[in-house]
Amino acid sequence: MKTLARKTIDACLRQLDDPSIVANPFPCYASLRRFGSLVFDPHGQRWICTGYQEARAILSDRRGRFGARLAYLPAGTNGRSSQQLWALDHVLRLALPFLAGPLHLQLRRALQPHCSPQMAERRAMALQELVDEQVIALAHVPHEAGIDLLSDFAEPLALAALARFLTLPSDSLASLSRWSDASQAALSGWAGCSTAQVEQLSGWLTEALEYFAHLVKERRLHPQRDLVSYLLQVLGRNRGAPHSGEQEACSGAIVAATLLAMLAAGSRGVAHLIAMTLLWLWREPALHEQLEHAPALWPPFLKEVARLDGPQHVLARQALQEVVMSNKRIRRGQIVLLVLAAANRDRLVYAPEPDACRLDRDQSHPPLAFGWGQHTCLGEHHTLRLVQVATSSFLRQFPTARLAVSEQALCWKNWGGLRLLQQLPVALSAGTQGQDHLWASTRHGERREGLRKQSPIRRPYVLDLAPDGATAVLSLDLACCEHRPLRIEVQPERVVVTPEGADRQEQVIVARPSQQGSTPMREVGPTHCDHAKQRNARHDGLQHRKHCEQEKGRDEKDLEARLRHLFADILQLDPGQVDGQTDFFEAGGDSLDVATLLTSLHQQFQIDLDPFVVFDHPVLGELLSIIEALIVALPSNEPGCRGQAEGESV
């Protein structure tokens, strides 16, 4: 019986490479599940995990029992190629998915505010503009010609959104597609790649690493308000900060490898998810009607699509020590293949109808499409938001679009653990061109104006006064200024900035620093042993202490007011909306805003804060207490109170 079972398991695994099975591997996954949620494949000397609970336990492991699969070289690589691949693998092992311990926690915590649901909402308008550009371009395509939804819409959109998410320079857009393909192939161990493909992909990967190494070097010399500068700041200022050249090179390699890993995760996979979401809505029109009448159902719908047809089907993990799980002993060094597509349809968890898309499904067992635990995909919220905006906008523009071929004729491929569509031919319906469904410029402007009211938007500029009081500092966000020109007037004593179309100006008055004379200190302390003079001295000391306490109270109120205005200016809020209970991140701040806040605190108060202080204490009142303590600890520039205290004791 065991021999028969092993032959059946081996047959199921071999079938997964068959193109006809790749198109619909779910019956094969169901056959594997019948042998158990965790079974051993003697032919490949590996474990196959198809159960939800087991896969979730391995992904969420915090005891160092499982780790990323060790590197291996494809067959047929020569000496020079093998050396290059080992060097590339050494760098990629510094990416966030492969890090562990304090460094992983530090980097992940630094990225979380940048990837939070609040930030996904703040990016809604920017994502809508990217989608509008792609959709309106498709509106001019002759309807009889049709399109490939992947190459003509989903993939360019995913790359543009990814570049915006990673705040990469515009000169990298042309290369992102091949860099993401090369990163995905390398991170999956070059699975399914021929020797020629490995040579080509490794060349692209080398090109990507050289580009990011140059970008890191440039951001070290000239930091900007982007993700690369922020990550370098986090790695360079916190908990064992690198100071030597070797450590700086390591931090730069970590940033480059992490960006490549995010490229691999956010390109083909996101485009596939956009395509599959549209495919599900065309397959079941009733779902589209439900979403039209109840937009609040979009999040559960998208999670169901990710569960049923997410791109990540298989993920490899390696046992770092001997583990007993489900009464099975996994030995150290053995590979465990997590078949996430099978775990996401586990009947023990998703009954009834594990293969159906149900919007009322219990959310106590979230799908594993975006990982789980400490290695959950940080871009989940950004991805789901982009998919929602892209699919709803496409269907609004082309309400009668349909598949140009039968669903059985679609071609699929395995790509390093991903199951992806190769093409999605779509016929754009006649009658949608130039009619009411086409967004006229007025409707487009109205929709953008509505989005501006729904989510706070960062200004394209920041106008501030330098600490010396004699210099105006104007910081421009060129990406925003490209779509919103500014008028800048530099006058002898002021700088005036007026955004195009705005009904207000913003100005900074530049004045020379005031020369304040120091107030002469009153002589305190008796010169004769006279009781009346002693009483006067004591009275004067008490009065001055009271004056110092009043001044301290005013300073504290002034400090709180200045911090409130900092919050309001960075988060684009009205100062009246900010109080002691305002949470920096819940109010819309992100990791890039943290860098701006730290710079402003240094300029105004001459203190250097660790970014993790803001992450751990984002509420204004808590942060105020910490800043007050730091200011008190600074050397005093006003020794008057100390002198009076000494006089009081005489």
Q: Which two tokens stand for residue 446?
A: 């109205």
Domains in the chain (CATH in brackets) are 2-427 (1.10.630.10), 458-516 (no CATH), 526-650 (1.10.1200.10)
For residues 461 and 476, give the distance between their C-alpha atoms in angstroms, rounded to a whole number.
4
DSSP 8-state secondary structure symbol assigned to residue 473? E
Our CA angle for 249, 254, 260, nearest 5°, is 125
For residues 299 and 148, give the distance between their C-alpha atoms in angstroms, rounded to a whole number.
26
Q: What is the DSSP string of 570-632?
A: HHT--GGG--TT-BTTTTT--HHHHHHHHHHHHHHH-----HHHHHH--BHHHHHHHHHHHHH
Query: 3-class SS at 85?
Result: helix
Pairing of strands 46-49, 335-339: parallel
Q: What's the pLDDT score for residue 498?
A: 72
Q: Which two tokens stand for residue 161?
A: 């959104």
For residues 602 and 600, give the distance between their C-alpha atoms in angstroms, rounded to a whole number.
5
Residues contacting residue 159 through CB under 8 Å, at least 6 positions apart: 173, 176, 177, 180, 267
Phi, psi of 39 (to 5 degrees): -125, 155
Split the chain (650 residues) into runs of 10 and give each run's mean pLDDT: 54 67 86 87 87 92 77 53 73 79 81 83 86 87 78 92 85 85 83 82 89 90 85 66 57 87 87 95 92 92 94 90 91 92 92 89 88 85 94 92 90 86 84 36 37 39 50 56 63 66 53 38 36 50 51 62 88 85 82 79 79 79 82 50 35
Q: What's the pLDDT score for residue 71?
A: 52
Spatial contact of 381 and 120, defined as CB atoms under 8 Å apart: yes
Q: pLDDT by residue (tens digit) across 496-512?
A: 777 665 545 555 555 43
Q: pLDDT by residue (tens digit) across 83-95?
A: 677 777 777 788 8
Spatial contact of 426 and 149, defined as CB atoms under 8 Å apart: yes
Q: What's the pLDDT score for residue 190?
A: 78
Q: Which amino acid is at 72?
A: Y
DSSP 8-state secondary structure symbol assigned to residue 141? S
Spatial contact of 176 and 163, defined as CB atoms under 8 Å apart: yes
Q: What's the pLDDT score for residue 516?
A: 38
Integer Rg of the chain from CA: 30
Spatial contact of 36 and 153, defined as CB atoms under 8 Å apart: no
Q: Which two tokens stand for residue 499?
A: 């955004």
Spatial contact of 332 and 322, defined as CB atoms under 8 Å apart: yes
3-state secondary structure string across 518-587: CCCCCCCCCCCCCHHHHHHHHHHHHHHHHHHHHHHHHHHHHHHHHHHHHHHHHHCCCHHHCCCCCECCCC
Spatial contact of 541 and 647, defined as CB atoms under 8 Å apart: yes
Phi, psi of 402 (to 5 degrees): -155, 165
CA distances from 451 to 115, 129, 134, 164, 299 (A): 20, 10, 18, 18, 19
Q: What's the pLDDT score for residue 152?
A: 92
Name the β-bridge partners of 147. 426
Q: What's the pLDDT score for residue 94?
A: 82
Q: What's the pLDDT score for residue 453?
A: 37
